[in-house]
Structure formats: C-alpha cells, structure tokens
Structure 1
Amino acid sequence: MTQSTPGDGAMTRRTRHRRAALASAVAAAALVAAGLIGFQAWGEEPVAAGSASAVTDKDRRADDWQRTPVPVEKGDLTAVAALDERQAWAVGYRLKSDTEVEALALRWDGESWTQESTLPNGNFPQSLAVRSADDIWVAGTGSSHWDGEKWTDRALATDPAGRVMSDAITVSGDAGVWTAGRAVPGSIKDSVPAIQSWDGDSWQRQELPDVGKGELSGIVALAEDDVWAVGATYAADADSPQTPLVLHWDGTSWKKSDAPGVDGKTTWLGGVTALAPDDIWAVGGSASADSDRPYALHWDGKAWKSAPTPDVADGRLRTVGRAGDGSLWAIGGKGAVSVALRWNREEKRWDEAAAPEVVVRSTTTVPGSNALWTAGIARRGDLVPEIVRFTG
C-alpha cells in the first residue's frame, strides 16, 4: 500500500514490469520514472493487530471494491495516501494531448475526489507521503513538497552514479523524510540502488554498501535510527537470477540484510511495511521463463524468512499494509490482472482475497478505518484513471 499510516506499506513498480505507457507523452515519463509502486509506511503508531480470519477468496465479493469517480478523463494515477476517512490524496498525470501531460494532485473530502492542484512542470510523481494536510511529499524524477497552499520543488542531491529516480518515499517523526530508488548512469540495466534523506533544508545522499547493480522500490521508517528499504539486485549474468535486496539503517550506516530468494527464479521486492521493530513485512514476486507468483518475507527481529503465498498467476505483489481491524493486506498484479492477499494468522499463510478490478499502481490503508484505497487505471477503456475503495 502506498503512503498509508505507520505500520502500513506503500506499493511500487518494478523496472522491467513497469506500467503501461500513457500514450507517447506518458511513455516518455515512464522511461524516467519506472519502478514498483508500493505501500509505504507513515510513521504513526501502528494499530493493535487483530485476529485476521481466513479469507480464501473469494469469500469476499469483488463489488466490495467500489469505484469512486475522479475528475480526470485520460491519464494515470500513480500513488494514493490517506490521513483518515475524510482526507486522502492521489497524484498522477492528466493526458492533455498525445505529446503533453500535466502532473496533478487530487483530494478526497469524505464525499468525492476533486483536483486540489497541479504539480510543478516536469514533475513525474511516482510515490506519495502525507504527514498532514499541509505537509505532503511526492517523489519521482525529482521531489516536491506541499505546504497547504503551494508545491515547492526540492531538488534531489546529485549522485556520482547517475541521474536519481525515486520510486518510494516515506516520512518519520515530525520532520524525517526518506526516498529510495536508483541512480541511472545511462541505461536502466546499469542502475544502482540510491537512498536520500531530508535534513530540513535539502536532500542528502546516503552512502550504501556495494551491492552491485539494482534498485530499491520500497522504504519504511520506524524511527530516525530504524529504516528499511527493499528492492532487487540485478542478475550478474544471463545464467544467474535476480535476487531480493534488503537494506537497513541503524542511525549510523546502511547495511545489507540477508533475504531468502526463490531457487532458480528471478525474485524482487516491491513494498514494505513495519508494524513493530520485530514485525516487518516485505512483498514482491518471483518469476521464471514459464511462471510467476507472489513472494513475501517477514522479519521477526532476528532474520528474514519467507512466508507461504498462494500460486496466483501474474500475482506480483506491489504493496503491503495493515487495515484498522488488524488485517494485513498485500495487493498488486501484472497488467490487467490484479491480485489481493490477506494474512491468515491461524494458518500462518497468505490467502487469496477479492482483488480490485483496476490496473493497480498504488494502494493505501486508512487510519482509523478498515477501508483501503487503490489507484491506477481502468481495465477497460483508453487510459482511464480510476480509484476504488474497499469497504469490507
């Protein structure tokens, strides 16, 4: 899930499985801002975990996901985040012509979505973090901040490895902001992971361990000295699989954390959420020449371990987060195929649930509610932006 509440995660996109192009103009934007959009946690106190019932679902109907009209006829919505039931935001693009797009921000007031603003020119938002109605961050090819009245561009720090592209952003405490993605020296396949932090005045590049080529697609902060970022390390050669990448900040330095992959399969992580220092979830997918399926990991404070997932075709997970009733959700999909899983605490496995009927870009939980929001584009029609709400 995208910027949600602390303890919720944000959704992301993977470079090689990036979103469908929005005509020629948005296709160009996608080249500079790829990734996996995922749930990003926010930083408030997580709600107490409840007992999640087994949902093999399709004990929930697809019409539990309800479409909410948006004031954009053509375009794409890339990220969504909520403060409560009456306050939510979504960012994305309006397609103005075959060669022109306009970045914009929408706001939910409890009854409808309206356009609150447009973003500065040249802004291609891929992720969203909301601390309050007058403290909102977006990141993509750059970053911008909303103070309640206007957007201000905040240039990312330069990186000697190449142009920085951010696929995830999260906030912590009263002022902490972190963004994760990759630095691209020229070709996407030569990207290296990149993380930056906001010091109150400017973005600061973080020194990372040498993990080779790769990218980061999700980031979550429990505290200023406890931050996790997830993504993938690219295959070293044609005979090697891509592997999951997990990095941790302890307040002094970033270190790589061992994460199990899937033998013989390309594996990656797209979203991460932190419920407690010893209760962290990361989700993504695994793929081989003839199959792919959901992939999930759990951190118990000592080690990352894989968690059983159903064998869902095209079940790549983009986000993970916890709803107000304590149920843990993971949502994603590939192309027009969407997938939703819920964690079965009794059986200690992920079960399939009714998925939103939308090409998923981002999902968020809603603090103080069991609701979920999912943003993306409609499965039918020509680049029709859509936001759907799960009411349970």
Structure 2
Amino acid sequence: MHTSKSSRHRKVSRSPMVAALAAGAVAVGGLIAAGTVWAGPAPAAKDVASAPARVAGQWQSTAVPVAKGDLTAVAALSDKQAWSVGYRLKSATELEALALHWDGTSWTQQSTLPKDTFPQALAVRSASDIWAVGATAAHWDGTSWTTRNLDRDPAGRLTPDAVVTTSDGKAWTAGRAVPQGIKNGVPAVQAWDGTAWRRQTLPDVGKGELTSLTAVAPDDIWAAGTSFATDSTAETALLLHWDGTSWTRVAAPAGATDEHRWLSGITALGADDIWAVGGSSSKGGDLPYAVHWDGKKWTDVKTPAVADGRLRAVGRAGDGVLWAAGGKGAVSVALRFDAQERRWEQAADPGVVVRGFTTVPSSADLWTVGIAKQGDLVPAVTRFTG
C-alpha cells in the first residue's frame, strides 16, 4: 500500500482492500483485520436499542444493526430522516455493502447495495433519490439500488470520493483516475445527465485527487482536494470551480516551503461564503486546516493546534453554527466556528473514528459515523444534540 504523504489523508483504497480479501484479511476504514472471526448476523431491527435520552451539548453513541464492519458516510434530510452507508463483515473474506436508515428513533438496515459497490460517499436529494459512490455509482429510487456505471476515463479507473446533487436533477462525482497506483492518480470529475455518467474536462493540474464537492447552483460548483507532493514541492491544497461551462483552477493560499496541505471537505453557505477543511503538516504531526472563500479569493483561517486533528468534513447546522469534524487514528476532533470572534474553537470530542459527518437540516443536531475506538471493527454512530 502506498503510504507517502500524498495518500495519508485518503479514505479507503479499494485495491488494497481487494488484495486483502484475496489474502484472507479484510481492509476496512483504513484498517486491516487479519483472520477476523465473523460475529454472526446483526440483530434484527426489533432487537436494536433505541437512542438514549438526549443531552444538549454532548455526543452520544447510537446503536446500529451491524456487529462488525465500517460506516463510511452519512446524510440527513431532517431529524427523522437520515441515511448511512458502509459495510458489514460477513466472514473473514467477504464484505456486504449496505445502507442504514434513521427514522427519528433508531437505525435499521434499509437495504444492501449491489456487489462490489464499496460506497465511500452519499448524497440524498429525497427518500427516493439517493446516490452512493465508491468503486462505482449506485442509485436508490425508493425501492431498490441500481448500479450506474461510471464513464470510462482514459487516465485510468475512476475511484470517486465525493458526490453531490444539484437543483437541475444532475449529480456530480469527483475523485481520481488511477492508471497504475494511487501516487500516479489525477483529479477526475463526472456528471450524471439523467441517462449516463459523463467524464468532465479538467485543467491540467498534475497528479492529485479530489475528495469533496459542494454546489451553490448548477452553474456554481466547487471541488476540493490535493495536488500531490513532488521531489521539489510539498503537497498543496487543490480547488476547482465549475461555472456552468468549464472547470478552472482557483488559487489556494500558499503554505511554507516544507508545509504539506490538503483538503478533504467543502461546503457552500453562499456564492461568496464557502469553507473548505483538511489538514496540514510540516515537521510535526497532522493539524487541522481551514480556508474560506469570500467571492474573490481563498484565505487561511486559523484553527486550534490539535495533534492528529486533520479534518474530514464541514457543514452548517440548522441553528447557523458552522462545524467541522475529523481526526486521525484513535484521535477524533470536532471544531465549532465562533462567527463573532472569527475563529475556530475545539468542541466536545465525537468519540468515534470519524469516517463521515453531516449536519441536520432545520436542526442543531449533528451525526458522525465510522468505527468505535475500542473493539475490532465495530461500526459506530454518534449524535450531537445542539
């Protein structure tokens, strides 16, 4: 597995996962569980405990109907409608992609995704219009999942890490086209036009990847990610913009000569109010990193120096508070933006190895999903009550 700085912040690498399965081990959420013993089927929905009494200002664990596996993404329509995707470990050599649904009281398994989907990102337009992307793309129409194969990319196989929908009915996915290994990947974007996925022409930005998408409007879309390090340059933040006609690169703030920077999450609050988050590293460990777009340029915004506190996602809660979440290994972190002081502050620890994060429309609540810090590949969901 490639472990240079150009891939350390990535989510899951599918090629190592497939190789691990073939070797009798399972790679999930960036972890390897060699010779893992299957814990048997998950409990039936009626056996899954409902959410505990909620306490404002705290993260609380919520039961999920998966004994072993990984949850990789989460999205919500309301406090009574949320979805998460991930994997169940069926045996030491077999994974099952699945979707969970939150009904306001408990998480239950809604469905399984097509084989070899390996979902990494989720976009929910409605209860009957959901996209999940990973090794490929799959669409939920309210009854079943259908594989929608991605367009062929001459640069290599597309492995998406982000998906977003727009008001014109389109969906967009971004990631990297990989010809011969992660380190040789190049950023890639495709758009769903209602019939098929179509490859998009991007500016030549060299080797790198895109990890997140956000849409202000069908003709105002941003993609964020990383330009990989070279022998003479550090890893740098990558920002691309769609104006309805073409994709262009927009300059990100420059770091110090030996400082590596990357972006993993982005959200648009308006055309002139966009946030992107990720991590930075120089001689020490990874630290949180955040930049802001004011309609004219991107600027750095100071974050607390949380060791291994690299950020994965960012979003604004229903009460107007901006949040970011992430972490590395057993470290998890949540940051809250103080709009009056114009600074990020460390908030209560989500208490889970964060793989996915979402705000909840018309609510001050938040969700994180991933795996528990204790145990062997135990899927975990925590909920913050605002």
Q: TM-score, normalised by structure 1?
A: 0.86
The answer to whether structure 1 residue 255 and structure 2 residue 232 are counterparts is no
> Aligned equivalents of 2:372 and 2:206: distance in 1?
37
| Matches of 1:326 and 1:89, distance apart in 2 | 22
**Contact map agreement 1:19 1:335 (CA 8 A) in 2:** no
Match of 2:264 among 257, 267, 270: 270
CA distance in 1, matches of 2:214, 2:10: 22
Secondary structure in 2 matching 1:375: strand
Give the match for residue 214 of structure 1: 208
Is residue 361 from structure 1 mapped to residue 352 from structure 2 by the alignment?
A: no
Matched, 1:15 2:7: yes
Q: Which AA in structure 1 matches 2:114?
A: P
| SS of residue paired to 2:8 | helix
Q: Contact 1:162/1:183 (CA < 8 Å) preserved in 2?
A: yes
Is the Cα–Cα contact under 8 Å of residues 22 and 95 in structure 1 kept in the other structure? Answer: no
Greater relative contact order (CA < 8 Å, ≥ 6 in sequence)? 1
How big is the shift at 1:118? 0.3
Contact 2:178 2:186 in 1 (8 A): yes
Q: Counterparts in 2 of 1:1-392, with a 5 A limit? A: 15-18=7-10, 24-25=20-21, 27=26, 64-237=58-231, 239-263=232-256, 264-392=258-386
Q: Percent identical across equivalent pairs?
A: 61
Normalization by structure 2: what TM-score? 0.87
Say which SS state the counterpart of residue 189 (structure 1) adopts: helix
**Unmatched 5+ residue regions in structure 2?**
1-5, 31-54
Whether the 8 Å contact between 2:56 and 2:384 is mirrored in structure 1 is no
1:103-122, CA deviations, whole angstroms, 9 ceiling, x for partnerless residues?
00000011000000000011
Structure-2 separation of matches of 1:220 and 1:126: 16
Superposed CA RMSD in Å reads: 1.9
Structure whose alpha-carbon radius of gyration is higher: 2
Aligned partner letter, 2:73: A
How many aligned positions are there? 349
- The letter for the 2-side match of 1:125 is P
How far has the Cα of 1:19 moved from its partner? 5.2
Gaps of 5+ in 1: 1-13, 32-60
Please give the alpha-carbon distance, in whole angstroms, between the structure 2 residues aligned to 1:214 and 1:388: 32
Describe the superposition over 1:330-354 as per-residue Cα deviations: whole angstroms up to 9, x where unpaired: 1100011001111111221111111
